[in-house]
Structure 1
Amino acid sequence: MKRNSQIYIFSLALLALGSCSLTKFVPDGSYLLNEVNIVSEQSEVKPAPFKSYVRQNPNSKWFSLIKVPLYTYNLSGRDSSKWINRMWRRLGDGPVLYDEGLDIRSQQEIKKALNNQGYMSASVKSSKKISKKKLNLTYTIVPGKPYIVKSLKYDIRDKGIEAILKKDSAETKLSKGMLFDINVLDAERQRIANNLINQGYYKFNKDYITFTADTVRNTYQVNLTMHLLLYKASASDELRNHNQYRINKVNFITDYDVLQSSALSSIEINDSIHYKGYPIYYKDKLYLRPKVLTENTYIHSGRLFSERAVQNTYSSLGRLSAIKYSNIRFFETQIADSSKLDCYVLLTKSKHKSVAFELEGTNSAGDLGAAASISFNHRNLFKGSESFMFKVRGAYEAISGLQGAYGNNDNYTEYGAESSINFPSFLFPFLSENFTRSIRATTEFGMQYSYQLRPEFSRTIASASWSYKWAQRRQKVQHRIDLLDISYIYLPWISPKFRADYLDKANSIFQYNYDNHLIVRSGYSYYYNSIGGTMQNNTTASNSYSVRINLESAGNLLYGISKLVNQQKTENGDYSILNIAYAQYVKGDFDFAKNVEIDKRNSLAFHAAFGVAYPYGNTAVLPLEKRYFSGGANSVRGWSVRTLGPGSYKGADNNINYLTQSGDLKLDLSMEYRSKLFWKVQGAAFIDAGNIWTIRDYENQPGGAFKINKFYKEIAFAYGLGLRLDFDYFVLRFDGGMKAVNPAYSSGKERYPIFSPDFSRDFAFHFAVGYPF
């Protein structure tokens, strides 16, 4: 009965959409632009790159299937004075009417693009197919035979530049036999200009480079000549060689106000110092150590001007939290027969001290709670742009499913504090200054303390860390080294019932995790983002991808020392420090995400992640903090958080599944179709797959071990729909997932709920901030 009612409602929705004619608001004599296609008569010329030259596109489709915005607009009546009609029109999109003028312009733009690629005899045909008031438009590309560069010559009158270009000839984009592609010629002009302005030619630009092309009669061949023109400051000046500039002086002005006049004479300066030949001017008090300024500057007196050095200086100064803005200016000066540049580095001071208060809501597997924190930040603690942070935090959560099982305490509370200090340099002994300047790393020291009280136990976690972070290649590549990370887990109290039910049982996988233990680890993280930028979410950009790799190990050094000194093992068979057992394991994670743009409103995103952790030596069981969990908003979304796996394990019937449903291996696979709907709202349809497994067989997790001959049968599948509210700075996400294949069952409708879905059994709702991958 329920299924029949769902089919009935779905049919009514389709009927409602179908009853709204797409051409309701198309005037007589006009046509709705229904489709626009581009085809090519030659396979070597692909039509896809020419879509951007079409000047008129039809109404958008949700998920590339249905023109829902147009249907929504057509729900309105013709009386625009009624509020309901105005509302439908605001929510939807009006019909796109065929425009002959834009059609002709599109043909011209596509033909121009073909000409630029060397197809000088190309033509573009437009054909129309009309059905009632709908028009389908097709552009047919006829490229013709392309023009080929037969010979390549250079006309460079500046002998100094000619010598530089000869050394750089291996990098040229030009060659005999290439297509006569205007885009390649322009790219070569820009490449040469970039090379020269990095070798002292401060005033050079690509407009000094031109090309002449002579076609050979009755052939499709071109004799190409590149000209590099001499310098001319004005129309009345004589032609001369381009000046190669060197840096004269580098000056720092540390109290520049961007809201005041940009003239140097208007900047208020009260005092100055000289440090290693660098004049440093300031207003009242110098807030940065001179060494910090010089170490983050790549422009040096006596060297040739280089735009690369300027950009490196901007990037390096941008890392300093004590500085809000930086601006670099150059002024030409003539010393004897040499052309030189005086450099002024203008710096605007940031607000060094701040206090912030945060209030947040929490949702852990359906248990609601709240948390609050207050933090203090100092962005220039020792006058070296060191960032210091101190935060205190408190949290409360109402735990469901345990009422009466552990007395009157059914809540979770947490109190904690953390502190960190970040140095904008690579602090490590015996490293050369050239190395630390080239890597531009930051060094961070941190400490954290947290006290947690649950109905089952209380826990104290204390940690300290020492790490390095740096980026390369315009923020595309980021590295992190956790040189030392120490965590101490102490459980001062455990409920007798919890101990009897879970910890005192033979072969319990959790006994180790609820003993006091120590984790001393080191790790390395690699992150690559094809579009660059530390804050950019690659999954929102066109045709981008990212790769994350994490490696870490713990306990190896301590284990080696214990062996070396012949330390006696405890009664549990492990080594300890001050009667505290330490963990020993290795762990590796790999994560890949890719976004493929279908059109401006639709994209397809893929995600694959794999992780494995192996306990050994001093540890038989991986610490709970390092184990994997499956299900939830960023995993297989047909399951609630931490309710899937390991393997075919069904979970316990005691509402404490977070204890048993964890593993040593994890697999996550996802495919998501994303579509912009209206305003800030986006839609998604997804398919997820994955699970977790244990490396060893554990009595408390039957069916959870990874077996090469059956793991593929234990991969869970889910499907669903989602909505995203994209406010640029953050994304609110709502996902509804349904189980498709449930590995907890071996056969029947329970294993394949996709064929007999039960909403109460198979549905999981997720609310999260940010994209799933």
Structure 2
Amino acid sequence: MKKISTKITAFIVISILICACNAVKRVPDGQLLLTKNEIRVDGKIIKEEKLSNQLYQQPNTTLLGYRLRLNLYNLANLNPDSTYQAKFVNDPEKYNRKSKWLSAKQVDRLGQSFFYNGIHNFLKTTGEPPVVIDQDRTTKSILRLKYYYFINGYFNVSAIYKIDTLNFKKGIVKYDIFPGNAFFIDSVQTSILTPALDSLYARNKASTFIKPGLQYKTEDFENERNRITTNFRNNGAYYFQPNYITFNIDTINKVNKANVTLLINNYSYQEADSTKTEPFKLYKISDVNIYTDYSSSKEALNFTDSTVYKNFNLFSQKKLKYKPKSITDAVFITKDGYYADYKTVLTTRYLNNLKIFNYPSIQYEIDKRDSTAQSLIAKVYLIPRKKYSFGLNVDVTHSNIQDFGIGLSISETIRNVFNGAETLEIAARGNIGSSQDLANPRNNFFNVSEYGLDVKLNIPRILMPFNTDRIIPKSMIPSTLITIGFAKQQNIGLDKENFTGGVSYNWTPKVNRTARFDLFNTQFVRNLNPRNYFNVYGSSYNALNNFSKTYNSNLTYFDNPIDKNLIVEEGTAGFIRDVLSGSSTFLQPITTADFESIRSIEERRLRLTANDFILATSFTFSKTTKKDMTDNTFYLFKTKIESAGTILTAFAESTNQKQNSGGNYEIFNLEYAEYVKTEFDYIKHWDLSKEKIVAFRTFFGIAIPFGNSDYIPFSRSYFSGGSNDNRAWQPYGLGPGSSGAVDDFNEANMKIAVSGEFRFKIAGSLKGALFADAGNIWNVLDNVIDERSTFTSLSDLKDIALGSGFGLRYDLSFFVIRFDLGFKTYNPANEIGRRWFKEYNFSNSVLNFGINYPF
């Protein structure tokens, strides 16, 4: 309690100090602190971001209306060294006294300590100096505003500004803009001197950005210039550049209208001391030469091996190490085809995606054999990477289950393993971690360990017995991934062995779109220590133990006659067997409700300790508008559909396989899982400028068992809660439905999740966020009968939980460290009338640690 009161006192003191700061403390006399920019267009206040961004001066940043960074800066001593030295100049004896028990050197170094120097440097760098109104910058802002309107068709725009004093050393700048009437395009004419280019333009004229009736915008003219250039250069105009395109804008004798003339002159070039012009030529490719082992470090290249494959010429300084098809499939530049920029880009992208070469170089030169000088030789230079490469990685990890983990992985990559540009990767990995969610009687910090071996073979084409080029052309950069893996997990729990294998096909239908088809994905999970179930799942044990004290009469099931706790495994198994078989004598008749509860406990135990075999086929598709890492206005859509066990059942039925006593089919003496599963994930970000971002995510997933299964395997089920989900609950701590998370690891086969965040900058690399998470999990169409856990109608949407809170994030450029504090805003597990805000306090809050943003 004392520590808490100390922290609260410190917080209050710091808050008072910051709030007591004088915002104009460091504003020079006779000048004004810029508190606001006001932009009025024809007398109406406009708050458009595009207009505000034209101004050269912006007020100091605020956090919820408070100038935090300005006040932090004002708290700093701008000259801490001089202040420290002044202490001893005014009082020399003070320096002598300190030197006697510290030494003179230590006294001097004390001035560089965090208390005297470092804290002030931190406040200066984290803070923000006052933005003082500068008339020169204000004048430049006026010019920027006028230019902004001019390039958007307001050719007669005028603007003025006025500086108003609010109070002591504070001011506001008011900008008044009078744009006048906008100009519109009246007519569009063309003058293209090269006939071949004139034909190309006419062929794609319908997609022009400049059309009669549209308002004049300089941006449209830039887009049209880029469109024309792209069109020409993708159809053979090798020497064409955007600077050959000019626009003549005629507004003479026009009222708010402009006539546009598109001008494209002939090609100009230097010959000796004179400049010559001639019509542009459309170039074709006469040869495609591929140098498979080029070395830029060698002055002279001696290619001793060569071959011709489908009009491609392949050269090698040593014996050719690649199957020609594996290289030529990646080259989209074709002999006798027109030169095209997009073919160069696509070829570069595909070759780089092979991961067996360094970034390729593609060059073109005039073919001197062509008397018309309209042919190009394409030269593709490939620098091979090392055939063998060794990798070693050490990772610090965090997940919804593992609070802290240290992982080590060792990998060996073999490139061009079968001479077809394939890549083989063999990786061994190990991990030790700490988890509070597992039973840990010895209280060991590292109570989770795992090791495994993975083998991946990547083939840069669709590996099928028939040709798939018409369905998935090579321009979609298709590949086949074959994987085999083994992992063994040891912890204070059930311990598991996990065998995986799969064949998947990947391709990119368009830019920023990806598709993946898993022909099959196999997983075999073997539990090594199922007898330890009731030691791990304490909630199930406690419930069963309470029933035992009420009904059990077999003293051999107890650890002692006083406490009468069930022995794991002999006592728990014996009591369950007696209840379900009804063959024993009990202290009193078992009620129907208690019998169903005991049966439910046993069904869950069997489900979570059963060895699972899954043979699934799935298709995944994703689309995003995100252009690069700095793009903060985008959306991402991802969907997946998966079917498991259907092929095995079809085979079993067609071959008249026998069913077991439970009426299910088996493979390798093991019942396999059969279900269909689908997921939809949508993420949307809005950039509000000034590093303010709104992020939104919604997710829906459902897995329905049928045929050979009446439940979903644990590894394919859903859970709720955790740092990347509903942050007001611990992982596996929410749901299903309104059941109140009575089990240790609560999971179900349907999930709904919706999250929103408002992200903002606090100071420097420190970011903040306000968030709200809604969602839950339910059982549907499986063997769970508890009404609180199942979804039967839309009225069950009332069980959607709501968590809200705030977070701090520190951006280290290459990753983000994240802390989120979530509060239970609406808890469906509580009785009606006590669901809203009854647990909205720090004692029931959840602090989440995460790496990078949750979505």
User: Aligned partners of 1:230, 1:501: CA distance in 2, in Å?
Assistant: 91
Q: CA deviation at 1:609?
A: 1.1
Tell me the secondary structure at the aligned position of residue 458 of structure 2: strand
2:406 corresponds to 1:316: no
- Which aligned pairs between 1:450-529 and structure 2 lie closer than 5 A? 450-474=487-511, 476-495=512-531, 498=534, 505-507=598-600, 508-529=603-624
Query: C-alpha displacement at 1:326, in angstroms?
Result: 0.8
> Is 2:121 the counterpart of 1:86?
yes
Deviation per CA, 1:383-442, whole angstroms, max 9, x where unpaired? 332121112223344565776879999944433211111111111121155644233211
Mapped pair 1:689 → 2:774: yes
C-alpha distance in 2, partners of 1:39/1:8? 46
Q: Give the secondary-structure state (helix, strand or coil) at the position aligned to 2:360.
A: strand
1:273 equivalent in structure 2:
306
Equivalent position of 1:139 in the other structure: 175
- 8 Å CA contact 1:426–1:436 kept in 2: the answer is no
Q: Deviations over 1:219-276 (max 9, x none)?
A: 1122221112122214834432111111122222334445x59xxxx35334231222
2:301 maps to amino acid: E
Alignment of 1:649-668 (within 5 A): 649-652=739-742, 657-658=744-745, 661-668=746-753
Q: Residue in 1 aligned with 2:155? A: 120
**1:573: Cα distance to partner?**
2.4
Pick closer, same or farther for the CA change 1:697–1:425 going to 2, 3 Å.
Answer: closer
Q: Distance in 2 between matches of 1:142 and 1:768?
A: 51
Q: Do 2:438 and 2:493's aligned partners in 1 also have CA atoms closer than 8 Å?
A: no
Change (3 A) 1:45 1:744: closer
Aligned match of 1:645: 735
Say whether the 8 Å CA contact 2:825–2:839 is kept in structure 1: no
User: 1:287 and 1:56, CA in 2 relative to 1: closer, same or farther beyond 3 A?
Assistant: farther
- Aligned partner of 1:545 in structure 2 is 635
Which of the numbers 214, 223, 240 marks the counterpart of 2:278?
240
Across the two proteins, how many residue pairs are aligned to each other?
Answer: 753
Q: Is the 8 A contact 1:697 1:705 kept in 2?
A: no
Q: C-alpha offsets along residues 79-99 of structure 1, whole Å, 9 cap, x if unaligned?
A: 342514333212212112211
Q: Could you tell me how far 1:570 is from its partner in structure 2? A: 1.1
* Aligned CA distance change for structure 1 residues 120 and 642 (closer, same or farther; 3 Å): same
Q: Secondary structure of the residue that 1:717 maps to in structure 2?
A: strand
Secondary structure of residue in 2 paired with 1:315: helix
1:701: how far off?
A: 5.4
Which aligned pairs between 1:21-420 and structure 2 lie closer than 5 A?
A: 21-41=22-42, 47-62=48-63, 65-81=65-81, 83=117, 84-131=119-166, 132-217=168-253, 219-234=255-270, 236-257=274-295, 260=297, 266-276=299-309, 277-334=311-368, 335-361=370-396, 365=401, 368-397=404-433, 411-420=447-456
Equivalent residue in structure 2 for 1:615, among 701, 705, 712? 705
- CA RMSD, Structure 1 to Structure 2 (Å): 3.0
Q: CA deviation at 1:43?
A: 8.9
Q: Could you report, residue by residue, the CA deviation over 1:353-405 in whole angstroms, capped at 9, with x for unpaired residues?
A: 22223334455646655443322222332233212111222334456577687
TM-superposed deviation, 1:296: 0.8
Structure 2: state its 5+ residue gaps: 82-115, 535-568, 578-597
Structure having the larger proportion of residues in helix: 2
Whether the aligned pair in 1 keeps the contact of 2:502 and 2:521 (CA below 8 Å) is yes
Aligned partner of residue 274 in structure 2, secondary structure: coil
Give the 3 Å change call, closer, same or farther, for CA 662–517 of structure 1 in structure 2.
Answer: same
Distance 1:139 1:351, change over 3 A: farther
Code of the aligned partner of 1:210:
T
Tell me the secondary structure at the aligned position of residue 324 of structure 1: coil
Partner SS for 1:328: strand
Unaligned runs of 5+ in 1: none
Which TM-score applies when normalising by structure 2? 0.82
Deviations 1:144-164 (A, max 9, x none): 111112222122222222122
Residue 646 of structure 2 corresponds to residue 556 of structure 1: yes
Q: Look up the equivalent residue of 1:693 and give its one-letter code.
A: W
The alpha-carbon deviation at position 626 of structure 1 amounts to 0.8
* Alpha carbons of structure 1 residues 315 and 371: separation in structure 2 relative to 1, 3 Å: closer
- Structure 1 residues 254 and 698, CA, compared in 2 at 3 Å: closer, same or farther? closer
Amino acid at match of 1:547: F
State which drifts further: 17-26 or 230-239: 230-239
Report the residue type matching 2:77 in the other structure: G
Q: Does the residue aligned with 2:731 lie in a helix, a strand or coil?
A: coil
Counterpart check, 1:600 vs 2:690: yes
Query: For the Cα contact (< 8 Å) 1:555–1:582, is it kept in 2?
Result: yes
Partner of 2:850: 768
Q: TM-score, normalised by structure 1?
A: 0.90
- Structure-1 separation of matches of 2:437 and 2:380: 63
Separation (CA, whole Å) in 2 of partners of 1:579 and 1:44: 76
Given that 2:456 and 2:482 are in contact with CA atoms closer than 8 Å, whether structure 1 keeps it comes out as yes
- Is the deviation greater in 119-128 or in 20-29? 119-128
Deviations 1:189-215 (A, max 9, x none): 221111011110001112222122222
Aligned counterparts of 2:422 and 2:158: Cα–Cα separation in 1: 62
Which whole-Å CA distance do the structure 2 matches of 1:43 and 1:236 have between them? Answer: 57
Matching residue's letter, 1:291: K
The match for 2:823 is 738
Other structure's SS at 2:358 match:
strand
Cα distance, 1:639 vs structure 2: 0.9
Q: Please tell me whether residue 715 in structure 1 is matched to residue 800 in structure 2.
A: yes
> CA contact under 8 A between 1:427 and 1:443: conserved in structure 2?
yes
% identity of equivalent residues: 27
C-alpha displacement of 1:9: 6.7
Taking a change above 3 Å as real, the CA distance of residues 495 and 459 of structure 1, as seen in their structure-2 partners, is same
User: What amino acid maps onto 2:259 in structure 1?
Assistant: N
Summarize deviations over 1:604-630 as a string: whole Å, max 9, x none.
111111111111111101111111000
Query: What is the distance in 1 between the residues matched to 2:754 and 2:160?
Result: 44
Contact 1:362–1:371 under 8 Å retained in 2: yes
| Residue deviations 1:729-770 (CA, integer Å, cap 9, x gap) | 222222222221111102465x33x3564423x121222222
Shift, 1:17, TM fit: 2.1
8 Å contact kept, 1:426–1:440: no
**Residue identity in the other structure for 2:854:** P
Aligned equivalents of 1:711 and 1:43: distance in 2? Answer: 49
1:440 equivalenced with 2:485 (yes/no): no
Q: Please tell me the residue identity of whatever aligns with 1:729.
A: F
- SS of the equivalent of 2:328 reads helix
1:489 CA displacement = 2.2
Question: How many Å separate the matches in 1 of 2:151 and 2:701?
Answer: 48
What is the CA-CA distance between 1:350 and the residue it aligns to? 1.8
For 1:282-337, what per-residue CA distance to the aligned partner results, in whole angstroms no more than 9, with x for missing partners?
A: 34454433322211111122211111111111111111111012111111234112
1:553: Cα distance to partner?
1.0
Q: Secondary structure in 2 aligned to 1:191?
A: helix
Other structure's SS at 2:621 match: strand
Q: Distance in 2 between matches of 1:420 and 1:142?
A: 65
**Is the Cα contact below 8 Å between 1:365 and 1:640 reproduced in 2?**
no
Residue 18 (structure 1) shift: 1.8
Distance across 1 between alignment mates of 2:507 and 2:740: 43
Kindly provide the amino acid, as one letter, of the partner of residue 92 in structure 1: G
Q: Which has the larger radius of gyration?
A: 2
- Comparing 498-507 and 230-239, the one that deviates more: 498-507
Contact 2:784 2:790 in 1 (8 A): no
Q: CA deviation at 1:26?
A: 0.8
